[in-house]
Amino acid sequence: MATLLKAVPEKTGRWVVEDRNKGVFKVAREAFVSDAIFEKERERIFDKCWLYLGHATELKEANDYLTRNVAGRELIFNRDRKGSYNAFFNVCPHRGAMVAREKCGSALGFKCFYHGWAFNNNGKFATRMGEGFYPEDFGKDGSVDLVRVPRLEEYRGFYFINFDEGAVSLEEYLADSREIIDLVADQSPNGMEIIGGGQQYSINANWKLLLENSFDGYHAEDTHATYFEYLSDYIGGAANDDLSAAKVESRAIDLKNGHAVIEGKAPWGRPIARTIPSWGEDGAADIRAARAELEARLGVEKAHRIADGDRNMGIFPSLVINDIMAITIRTFHPVSSGLIHVNAWAMGPVGEPRIQRKRRLDNFLEFLGPGGFATPDDVEALESAHRGYGNAKFAPWNDISRGLLKDQPTNFDEEQMRCFWREWARRMEDQ
């Protein structure tokens, strides 16, 4: 293997050790349980990186808004009267109460319930003060407007924020992950949309475990054995053959800046142009029509990649896009070194036929939802690992060396996780 011929020096940090000559990549379990490390992550990662806020279709009309907690900060994501998208800190400039208290709605402005200070939905202070209480020019300098999040940028309808005014642009940060986002956004000529509301749940584990797990193909066959047994009964023994083939055909791709994706072909059906026998002839006809539309609009090669590929992508540090049997947008934010709050949404084509939407949501809930085949398994695995890290003093290292010496790692190797850890170590150890 060509990799073995390269003189790759050993890279050793306090928490991450990589030595390609020896085929070793290890991560200190202290990195998952240390409160001091967690506080440093807040400063160096969550205060500096682009973080997912929401999708354009969650705010369909001018004046729509939603509230969301991102990295421990309460925010308002809204469209003002002109239809422009905004992100404000959800805090009154007067005494600090939250000015928007509902999860979502439509509002021309926001009024703090505590003392009645009011703001237009473009953030401008709008309270009429009685004479003599404040100077005549009070607030005209913008000092009592709602405070904007320093950076708000969008790519293909996905809105991100950054708390660092001096951060690189979103497109530069996303790097090669834009290609994978394009494969999602291009699945419909009418655009893609968030379907219904979101799902919220918590996991008693470190946030990095969830990012690792989200694009870790190695665990699937064992952790989710019940699901693959179900698939085998549901669509026939070919499911097991397809899973074996995926080990050969799949690949792990470094998307730069800590982002990575695993891509391959799995046994399940995809409402975007890949059928299964249980959908019957009507389903097969729907899928043929979907594939024909993709090919006519995007060309055969890209249509084939969209229709036949399955992708799990992690965007550093805390966004996951699962484009597999359904599309899930999942973001998560750490509350402490051992607690994560998770938000997840289903996504589908705008104007999707009703039967295709049903197949999509059935797939979503069946595997990806909080009560599906996969998520409870994953939650138990992550919480079990986090409990095990209580032994870090005596068993201090995680090993994620699998496939390190391969020229082209597959889904079932661990290169995608190494991409994450290299970026994590760069931000945490090289400053």
Contact assessment for residue 276 and residue 269, using Cβ atoms and an 8 Å cutoff: yes
Asked if residue 160 and residue 185 are part of one domain, the reply reads no
DSSP-derived 3-state class of residue 45: helix
Q: Of 41, 11, 372, which is closest to residue 208 (Cα–Cα)?
A: 41
The Cα–Cα gap between 17 and 25 comes to 6
Asked if residue 375 and residue 231 are part of one domain, the reply reads yes
- Domain membership of residue 419 (yes or no) is yes
Domain boundary among 144, 166, 188: 166
Asked if residue 196 and residue 125 are part of one domain, the reply reads no
Contact assessment for residue 107 and residue 79, using Cβ atoms and an 8 Å cutoff: no
Report the side by side order of strands in the sheet with 104-106.
85-89, 73-79, 64-70, 104-106
Asked if residue 367 and residue 253 are part of one domain, the reply reads yes
Domain boundary among 166, 199, 229: 166
Q: Is 370 exposed, middle or buried (0-12, 13-18, 19+ CB in 10 A)?
A: middle
pLDDT range class, residue 11, cuts 50, 70, 90: low
Asked if residue 143 and residue 226 are part of one domain, the reply reads no
CATH number at residue 93: 2.102.10.10
- Domain membership of residue 18 (yes or no) is no
Asked if residue 218 and residue 155 are part of one domain, the reply reads no
What residue numbers bound the domain in which 62 lies?
A: 51-166
Encoding tokens for residue 374? 């996969």
Asked if residue 218 and residue 150 are part of one domain, the reply reads no
- Domain membership of residue 11 (yes or no) is no
Asked if residue 213 and residue 106 are part of one domain, the reply reads no
Asked if residue 246 and residue 181 are part of one domain, the reply reads yes
What digits encode the pLDDT tens for the residues 183-223?
999 999 999 999 988 999 999 999 999 999 888 887 777 67
The Cα–Cα gap between 28 and 26 comes to 7
Number of domains present in the structure of the chain: 2
Asked if residue 194 and residue 140 are part of one domain, the reply reads no
- Domain membership of residue 364 (yes or no) is yes
For 270-350, where are the alpha helices, taking DSSP H only? 280-298, 300-308
Report the share of the chain in percent with pLDDT over 70.
90
At 238 the pLDDT is: 52
What digits encode the pLDDT tens for the residues 41-93?
999 999 999 999 999 999 999 999 999 999 999 999 999 999 999 999 999 99
- Domain membership of residue 33 (yes or no) is no
Length of the chain: 431
What digits encode the pLDDT tens for the residues 312-347?
999 999 999 999 989 999 999 999 999 999 999 999
Q: Of 310, 341, 321, 354, which is closest to residue 199 (Cα–Cα)?
A: 341
Q: Is 52 exposed, middle or buried (0-12, 13-18, 19+ CB in 10 A)?
A: buried
What digits encode the pLDDT tens for the residues 22-55?
999 999 999 999 999 999 999 999 999 999 999 9
The Cα–Cα gap between 150 and 167 comes to 10
Domain boundary among 129, 145, 166: 166
Which of 74-83, 289-298, 359-368, 407-416 has the lowest average pLDDT?
359-368
pTM, two decimals, is 0.92
Give mean pLDDT, residues 266-280: 84
- Domain membership of residue 255 (yes or no) is yes
Q: Helix-strand-coil percent breakdown of the chain, rounded to 5?
A: 35, 25, 40
Q: Of 286, 306, 307, which is closest to residue 358 (Cα–Cα)?
A: 286
- Domain membership of residue 26 (yes or no) is no
Give mean pLDDT, residues 134-159: 94
Asked if residue 262 and residue 113 are part of one domain, the reply reads no
CATH number at residue 321: 3.90.380.10
Contacts of 366 (CB under 8 A, 6+ apart): 325, 372, 373
DSSP-derived 3-state class of residue 291: helix
- Domain membership of residue 4 (yes or no) is no
Indicate the pairing of strand 310-315 with strand 118-120.
Answer: unpaired
The Cα–Cα gap between 327 and 384 comes to 27
Asked if residue 201 and residue 58 are part of one domain, the reply reads no
pLDDT range class, residue 10, cuts 50, 70, 90: low
